[in-house]
Structure 1
Amino acid sequence: MPTIAPPTPRQRRLLEALALGPVSREDADRTAPAINGPHFIGTLRRAYRLALPCERIPCTTIDGDPSWCGLYVPTAADRRSIARILSAFNTEDVA
Protein backbone atom coordinates (compact mmCIF):
# COMPACT_ATOMS: atom_id res chain seq x y z
CA MET A 1 0.00 0.00 0.00
CA PRO A 2 1.45 3.39 -0.95
CA THR A 3 2.33 5.88 1.74
CA ILE A 4 -0.19 8.68 2.09
CA ALA A 5 0.32 12.12 3.55
CA PRO A 6 -1.49 12.96 6.75
CA PRO A 7 -4.53 15.17 6.25
CA THR A 8 -4.23 18.87 6.94
CA PRO A 9 -6.38 20.15 9.80
CA ARG A 10 -9.07 21.30 7.32
CA GLN A 11 -8.99 17.98 5.50
CA ARG A 12 -9.21 16.11 8.80
CA ARG A 13 -12.29 18.07 9.90
CA LEU A 14 -13.96 17.35 6.57
CA LEU A 15 -13.02 13.66 6.75
CA GLU A 16 -14.48 13.44 10.26
CA ALA A 17 -17.72 15.07 9.06
CA LEU A 18 -17.91 12.80 5.99
CA ALA A 19 -17.34 9.74 8.20
CA LEU A 20 -20.69 10.56 9.80
CA GLY A 21 -22.53 10.81 6.48
CA PRO A 22 -23.39 13.29 3.73
CA VAL A 23 -22.12 16.87 4.00
CA SER A 24 -23.77 19.80 2.26
CA ARG A 25 -21.67 22.35 0.42
CA GLU A 26 -22.53 24.91 3.09
CA ASP A 27 -21.59 22.50 5.89
CA ALA A 28 -18.26 21.84 4.13
CA ASP A 29 -17.58 25.59 4.24
CA ARG A 30 -18.42 25.76 7.95
CA THR A 31 -16.55 22.56 8.85
CA ALA A 32 -13.30 23.46 7.06
CA PRO A 33 -13.78 26.51 7.84
CA ALA A 34 -13.43 28.03 4.40
CA ILE A 35 -15.44 29.90 1.83
CA ASN A 36 -14.37 27.35 -0.77
CA GLY A 37 -15.41 24.01 0.67
CA PRO A 38 -15.55 22.41 -2.81
CA HIS A 39 -11.83 23.12 -3.21
CA PHE A 40 -11.07 21.14 -0.06
CA ILE A 41 -13.41 18.33 -1.13
CA GLY A 42 -11.34 18.26 -4.33
CA THR A 43 -8.12 17.99 -2.33
CA LEU A 44 -9.58 14.98 -0.50
CA ARG A 45 -10.57 13.37 -3.80
CA ARG A 46 -7.08 13.79 -5.21
CA ALA A 47 -5.00 13.07 -2.10
CA TYR A 48 -6.94 10.01 -0.96
CA ARG A 49 -8.58 8.81 -4.18
CA LEU A 50 -12.09 9.35 -2.84
CA ALA A 51 -15.10 9.59 -5.15
CA LEU A 52 -17.24 11.83 -2.90
CA PRO A 53 -19.99 12.31 -5.48
CA CYS A 54 -21.98 15.52 -5.22
CA GLU A 55 -25.72 15.06 -5.47
CA ARG A 56 -27.89 17.97 -6.47
CA ILE A 57 -30.88 18.31 -4.21
CA PRO A 58 -33.71 20.78 -4.65
CA CYS A 59 -33.79 23.66 -2.20
CA THR A 60 -35.33 27.09 -1.84
CA THR A 61 -33.25 30.25 -1.62
CA ILE A 62 -33.69 32.84 1.10
CA ASP A 63 -35.78 34.79 -1.44
CA GLY A 64 -38.14 31.85 -1.93
CA ASP A 65 -36.80 30.90 -5.36
CA PRO A 66 -36.34 27.23 -6.26
CA SER A 67 -32.71 26.22 -6.68
CA TRP A 68 -30.30 23.32 -6.25
CA CYS A 69 -27.92 22.58 -3.37
CA GLY A 70 -24.90 20.31 -3.41
CA LEU A 71 -24.63 17.33 -1.05
CA TYR A 72 -21.37 15.35 -0.85
CA VAL A 73 -22.34 11.73 -0.25
CA PRO A 74 -19.46 9.36 0.52
CA THR A 75 -19.75 5.99 -1.17
CA ALA A 76 -19.37 2.78 0.84
CA ALA A 77 -15.77 2.53 -0.43
CA ASP A 78 -15.18 6.17 0.55
CA ARG A 79 -16.43 5.50 4.07
CA ARG A 80 -14.07 2.54 4.46
CA SER A 81 -11.15 4.62 3.15
CA ILE A 82 -12.04 7.55 5.40
CA ALA A 83 -12.12 5.24 8.43
CA ARG A 84 -8.67 3.88 7.50
CA ILE A 85 -7.25 7.38 6.97
CA LEU A 86 -8.59 8.69 10.25
CA SER A 87 -7.40 5.66 12.20
CA ALA A 88 -3.94 5.82 10.59
CA PHE A 89 -3.52 9.43 11.62
CA ASN A 90 -5.45 9.36 14.90
CA THR A 91 -3.31 11.49 17.18
CA GLU A 92 -4.16 13.93 19.91
CA ASP A 93 -1.79 16.46 18.31
CA VAL A 94 -4.10 17.20 15.37
CA ALA A 95 -6.32 20.25 15.91
Structure 2
Amino acid sequence: MSFGGSVAAMIASLKANKRSRVSTFDKIKGHKKNEKSELHFDKKATPYELEQLKKKLIAENNTIFKRKVLILVVMITAILIALNYIE
Protein backbone atom coordinates (compact mmCIF):
# COMPACT_ATOMS: atom_id res chain seq x y z
CA MET A 1 0.00 0.00 0.00
CA SER A 2 2.48 2.56 -1.15
CA PHE A 3 -0.08 5.20 -2.11
CA GLY A 4 -1.85 5.36 1.28
CA GLY A 5 -0.04 8.52 2.30
CA SER A 6 -1.02 10.39 -0.83
CA VAL A 7 -4.67 9.33 -0.46
CA ALA A 8 -4.68 10.47 3.16
CA ALA A 9 -3.17 13.80 2.14
CA MET A 10 -5.84 14.18 -0.54
CA ILE A 11 -8.64 13.50 1.94
CA ALA A 12 -7.15 15.94 4.45
CA SER A 13 -6.88 18.59 1.74
CA LEU A 14 -10.49 18.11 0.68
CA LYS A 15 -11.69 18.40 4.27
CA ALA A 16 -9.66 21.56 4.81
CA ASN A 17 -11.00 23.20 1.64
CA LYS A 18 -14.67 22.71 2.45
CA ARG A 19 -16.75 25.82 2.71
CA SER A 20 -20.42 26.58 3.11
CA ARG A 21 -22.01 27.30 -0.24
CA VAL A 22 -24.93 29.68 -0.60
CA SER A 23 -27.80 28.32 -2.63
CA THR A 24 -28.86 30.24 -5.74
CA PHE A 25 -32.40 30.30 -4.42
CA ASP A 26 -31.16 31.94 -1.21
CA LYS A 27 -29.38 34.58 -3.28
CA ILE A 28 -32.47 35.58 -5.25
CA LYS A 29 -34.96 35.23 -2.39
CA GLY A 30 -34.51 38.83 -1.31
CA HIS A 31 -34.27 40.16 -4.85
CA LYS A 32 -37.15 42.47 -5.74
CA LYS A 33 -37.88 44.34 -8.92
CA ASN A 34 -36.74 47.91 -8.88
CA GLU A 35 -38.91 50.42 -10.70
CA LYS A 36 -35.87 52.59 -11.37
CA SER A 37 -34.11 49.94 -13.44
CA GLU A 38 -33.64 50.36 -17.17
CA LEU A 39 -36.06 47.56 -18.01
CA HIS A 40 -39.09 49.06 -16.27
CA PHE A 41 -41.66 50.66 -18.56
CA ASP A 42 -44.42 52.85 -17.15
CA LYS A 43 -46.03 53.50 -20.51
CA LYS A 44 -47.84 50.96 -22.62
CA ALA A 45 -47.59 50.78 -26.40
CA THR A 46 -50.70 50.85 -28.52
CA PRO A 47 -51.38 47.98 -30.92
CA TYR A 48 -50.58 50.32 -33.83
CA GLU A 49 -47.19 51.22 -32.33
CA LEU A 50 -46.42 47.55 -31.73
CA GLU A 51 -47.26 46.73 -35.34
CA GLN A 52 -45.05 49.57 -36.61
CA LEU A 53 -42.20 48.40 -34.38
CA LYS A 54 -42.62 44.85 -35.65
CA LYS A 55 -42.47 46.01 -39.29
CA LYS A 56 -39.39 48.12 -38.58
CA LEU A 57 -37.56 45.23 -36.89
CA ILE A 58 -38.42 42.84 -39.72
CA ALA A 59 -37.12 45.34 -42.29
CA GLU A 60 -33.88 45.87 -40.34
CA ASN A 61 -33.33 42.12 -39.96
CA ASN A 62 -33.88 41.60 -43.69
CA THR A 63 -31.35 44.31 -44.49
CA ILE A 64 -28.76 42.79 -42.16
CA PHE A 65 -29.37 39.33 -43.63
CA LYS A 66 -28.94 40.61 -47.19
CA ARG A 67 -25.66 42.31 -46.25
CA LYS A 68 -24.32 39.12 -44.69
CA VAL A 69 -25.28 37.06 -47.74
CA LEU A 70 -23.67 39.60 -50.08
CA ILE A 71 -20.44 39.61 -48.07
CA LEU A 72 -20.40 35.81 -48.04
CA VAL A 73 -20.93 35.61 -51.80
CA VAL A 74 -18.17 38.14 -52.44
CA MET A 75 -15.74 36.26 -50.18
CA ILE A 76 -16.53 32.90 -51.78
CA THR A 77 -16.10 34.42 -55.24
CA ALA A 78 -12.76 35.93 -54.24
CA ILE A 79 -11.56 32.59 -52.84
CA LEU A 80 -12.60 30.74 -55.99
CA ILE A 81 -10.83 33.28 -58.20
CA ALA A 82 -7.69 33.03 -56.03
CA LEU A 83 -7.76 29.22 -56.24
CA ASN A 84 -8.16 29.45 -60.01
CA TYR A 85 -4.96 31.51 -60.31
CA ILE A 86 -3.01 29.11 -58.11
CA GLU A 87 -3.53 26.21 -60.49
User: What TM bracket, shorter-length normalisation?
Assistant: under 0.3
Tell me the TM-score normalized by structure 1.
0.18
Tell me the TM-score normalized by structure 2.
0.19
| Structure with the bigger percentage of helix | 2
| Structure with the bigger percentage of strand | 1
Between structure 1 and structure 2, the one with the greater Rg is 2
